[in-house]
Structure 1
Amino acid sequence: MASSGGTKAIVAALVANLGIAVTKFVAYLLTHSSSMLAESVHSLADSGNQALLLVGGRRARREATPEHPFGYGRSRYIYAFIVSIVLFTLGGLFALYEAYHKWQDPHGIESWHWVPIVVLVAAIGMETFSFRTAIVESNHVRGSRSWKEFVRTEKSPELPVVLLEDLGALVGLILALVGVSLTLLTGNGLWDAAGTAAIGVLLVVIAIILAIEIQSLLIGEAALPEHVAAVQQAIVGDGVASLIHLRTMHLGPDEILVAAKIELDAATSAADVAAAVNGAEERIRAAVPVRTTIYLEPDLRQSPGVPAR
């Protein structure tokens, strides 16, 4: 990911959500619509989430320390995982609670009837701008991957998080608009409660998807297949006869760990071994477009049937 692209999408979403949250909450105070309250809390949660993503990106840029010799790149995964928790609790569960409360005591919108419609239509416009920004920035790094593949395989969490948040926000706004419109037409507050419940279910589902994908990154995912292939091809060269086995893992979105056993050509001295290993490291760094931490172990090819150690 281009970090600048992710930051641009985050900032666009943050500005849009702050403005939307304020207008929705004013609409709630005027109309007492549960859909408007759920949506204002949703936008407030999204604003907090974008702030968390910015903090995570900043903390990830810290230099490695003796206590954290591989750096702080995974801070971006940790903060993105916190985002999924906030979206689940403050967004989804609050909306479900508010829907239950409204279902127990349904009432129509008794004043300022036009306010929620105007606010929701304006919010859809602002959220569409944010969503479009996230799509444009994602297309810079998505390549030929489908959107589903992009969300599942992208190692930088910010753009998938913002994409899913913005998509959820747009769908939530439409659900709120439907619930409020039907409440205004029928005078029955149960439609408002139903719209609020639908928003809650939507946010819970998105939060679970995010948590599953980011959990995989936190555990440690291998490098992208094209990067693994590039490493495999680059290792074999001057002084290196073959690759015995290879392990890769993302230390952060923009850095991978490469650990491999390699078979060397006939070496007559330690200097030959060092030259072969250093040459392989240089070829790997030239072949892979992300930072690499490399550990290569010279070894002998095992006889057939003997597992590599």
Structure 2
Amino acid sequence: MAALGANLAIAASKFVAFAFSGSSSMLAEGVHSLADSGNQFLLLVGGKRAQREATPQHPFGYGRERFIYAFLVSIVLFSVGGMFAIYEGYEKIRHPHQLEHWYWPVGVLVFAIIAEGFSFRTAIKESNELRGKLSWAQFIRRAKAPELPVVLLEDFGALIGLALALGGVGLALLTGDGVWDGIGTVCIGVLLVLIALVLAAETKSLLLGEAAGLEDVKKIEAAVVDGRTVTGIIHMRTLHLGPEELLIAAKIAVQHDDTAAEVASAINAAEARIRAAVPIARVIYLEPDIYSEAEAAAGPDPKATPGGPTPHPAGH
């Protein structure tokens, strides 16, 4: 919401500055801010649609709609923001003209830097509550909720873009050559394309389906085994159904002389421990089996999730 409000105000001011000065950097930045506003709107729509209840046709719910809308954001940023800016900059380089009323673009750029800085600061504050000890690059790569990484990258790119626009306008004013304004516009377009490609790569991974993080996997492993009825995990797979919804399917080792009632009770207890350790574990399937030395000697399930646990029943 902070990013949406800031970008709408910035977009309006940039278009006014373009109308008075004719600066292509201002036009590119105006379209950039308008695209960013649309992106924030898409993220809000995706978050709302993801809250729908599960249906017979979609039994695991609609949590992954947030990933779809985040991917749409990368497409909008690439096409509307990046490619338009490159085209506009190319045209300005081919047909340069001097800037008029230079104080409009300069004033708007200063205002935009302040507004984007406010939005970026808000995104950093919200992200710090989730990223823990992760670096910023690790947080963007590993975050399952797409909204914060998208806003972080957009705001970071916007601040760099504003600096490029200010540089292009400043050089055009100092030299009297409008080509510099066009060069600054092309640089903005290239920057937006690069950010869009990073976003597309990250959201594509989420769309394909990502496993739980290593820390959550370790918590799940520790929660499953009780050392009495459940003696170990033969193999396990995890999948994010949405940013805050995790599916867990595991084959667990139980004692060969346990009764069905004891196994059922142990499974229920294991599910409760898993949910206590990892609250986003919403869908859990545990299949009991008798641990086999031959199965362990054969190695981990070749179809198991990469990075997931290998067979390690306790006491063997």
Which bin holds the TM-score, normalised by the shorter protein? over 0.9
Matched, 1:205 2:194: yes
CA contact (8 A) 1:12 1:130 kept: yes
Partners of 2:207 and 2:142 in 1: CA distance: 13
Matched residue, 1:62: 52
Once the two structures are superposed, the pairs formed by residues 293-304 of structure 1 within 5 Å of their partners are 293-304=283-294
CA offsets per residue over residues 241-267 of structure 1, 9 Å max, x none?
Answer: 111111111110001110100011244
Partners of 1:251 and 1:272 in 2: CA distance: 30
SS class of match (1:84): helix
Matched residue, 2:135: 146
Matched residue, 2:43: 53
- Residue 230 of structure 1 and its aligned partner are, at CA, apart by 0.4
Quick one: structure 1 residues 39 and 308, their matched pair in 2 at CA, closer, same or farther if it must change by over 3 Å?
Answer: closer
Once the two structures are superposed, the pairs formed by residues 13-28 of structure 1 within 5 Å of their partners are 13-28=3-18
Matched residue, 2:282: 292
| Equivalent residue pairs, number | 298
Gaps of 5+ in 1: 1-10
1:186 aligned to 175, 186, 196, which one? 175
- Percent identity, aligned pairs only? 61
Matched, 1:136 2:122: no
Quick one: structure 1 residues 96 and 308, their matched pair in 2 at CA, closer, same or farther if it must change by over 3 Å?
Answer: closer
Matched, 1:232 2:221: yes
CA offsets per residue over residues 149-182 of structure 1, 9 Å max, x none?
Answer: 0000011110000000000000000000000011
2:16 maps to amino acid:
V
**Consecutive aligned runs of 4 or more in structure 1 exceeding 6 Å deviation:** none
SS class of match (1:181): helix
SS class of match (2:293): coil
Matched residue, 1:5: none
1:302 maps to amino acid:
S
> Which shows bigger deviation, 277-286 or 156-165?
277-286
SS class of match (1:29): helix
Partners of 1:199 and 1:272 in 2: CA distance: 64
CA offsets per residue over residues 180-214 of structure 1, 9 Å max, x none?
Answer: 01111111011000000000000000000000011
1:115 aligned to 101, 104, 110, which one? 104
TM-score by length of 1: 0.94
Matched residue, 2:298: 306
Matched, 1:32 2:19: no
Matched residue, 2:116: 127
Gaps of 5+ in 2: 302-316
- What is the root-mean-square deviation of aligned Cα atoms in Å? 1.1
1:245 aligned to 225, 235, 248, which one? 235
1:306 maps to amino acid:
A
> Which shows bigger deviation, 290-299 or 54-63?
290-299
- Residue 113 of structure 1 and its aligned partner are, at CA, apart by 1.7
Matched residue, 1:222: 211
SS class of match (1:145): coil
SS class of match (1:62): coil
1:272 aligned to 262, 272, 294, which one? 262
SS class of match (1:52): helix
Matched residue, 2:312: none
TM-score by length of 2: 0.92
Matched residue, 1:100: 90
Once the two structures are superposed, the pairs formed by residues 168-187 of structure 1 within 5 Å of their partners are 168-187=157-176
CA contact (8 A) 1:267 1:273 kept: no
Partners of 2:224 and 2:240 in 1: CA distance: 19
Partners of 1:267 and 1:151 in 2: CA distance: 48
CA contact (8 A) 2:248 2:281 kept: no
